[in-house]
Amino acid sequence: EAGVTQFPSHSVIEKGQTVTLRCDPISGHDNLYWYRRVMGKEIKFLLHFVKESKQDESGMPNNRFLAERTGGTYSTLKVQPAELEDSGVYFCASSPGQGGNEQYFGPGTRLTVT
Amino acid sequence: AQSVTQLDSQVPVFEEAPVELRCNYSSSVSVYLFWYVQYPNQGLQLLLKYLSGSTLVESINGFEAEFNKSQTSFHLRKPSVHISDTAEYFCAVRILSGAQKLVFGQGTRLTINP
């Protein structure tokens, strides 16, 4: 069974440009999460999808970030326009259901905004 | 709101020595507890978790953690470390019902010296 995959693995863009990160969860997992780690600080929650619906988007930093999960399969996270403080590693995770189920993480996308 | 504190950002130890990585949390409601590990150039992997039952939980590679409710701690221990344990370790919590987001500590980088 394939794990959570993320694309690209690295992205370097200039301030003001747009970047779109993609996450493919484990097949059959209804829950999909986005997290971010900035500059060696703690990993912080961004948002949670249940199928195609946003269940919790309390961690989204501002309206420059837009997450979608059309059809309840893969998800995209767009940053437009990117700012220097958006640099960091963006992790995606998925889980199959309710309870204390493990969240399975992808390898992350390292975003550098110059 | 929940918070997690990992008291040590870096822990250097010699191979075959014991190690303890400390984790304390704060929450007004009951939580599930997790330790995740990130090996160099890889994504996050679940190391072990406490959901209920025995307060001592073990991983397949010799790590163990004990849930201490009175001290709100979930320290990670291993009696004898190996070079391959070199990684960054993250403690995380999740509330039992409602929001499924993980709240992470700052991470502890474990370095094993020969």
The number of C-beta contacts closer than 8 angstroms across A and B is 58
8 Å CB contact between B76 and B20: yes
* B101 to chain A, closest Cα gap in Å: 6
Of residues A41, A100, A102, nearest to B106 (C-beta): A41
Q: Which residue of A has its CA nearest to B38?
A: A107
User: Given CB atoms, is A55 within the 8 Å cutoff of chain B?
Assistant: yes
User: Could you read off the pLDDT of B28-87 as tens digits, one per residue?
Assistant: 888 899 999 999 888 899 999 998 888 999 998 899 999 999 999 999 999 999 999 999
* A44 to chain B, closest Cα gap in Å: 7
Report CB contact under 8 Å: B101, A4.
no
**Cα-Cα-Cα-Cα dihedral sign, residues B58, B59, B65, B67:** negative
The pLDDT value recorded for residue A23 is 98
Residues of chain A with pLDDT under 50: none
The C-alpha atoms of residue B46 and residue A113 are separated, in whole angstroms, by 30
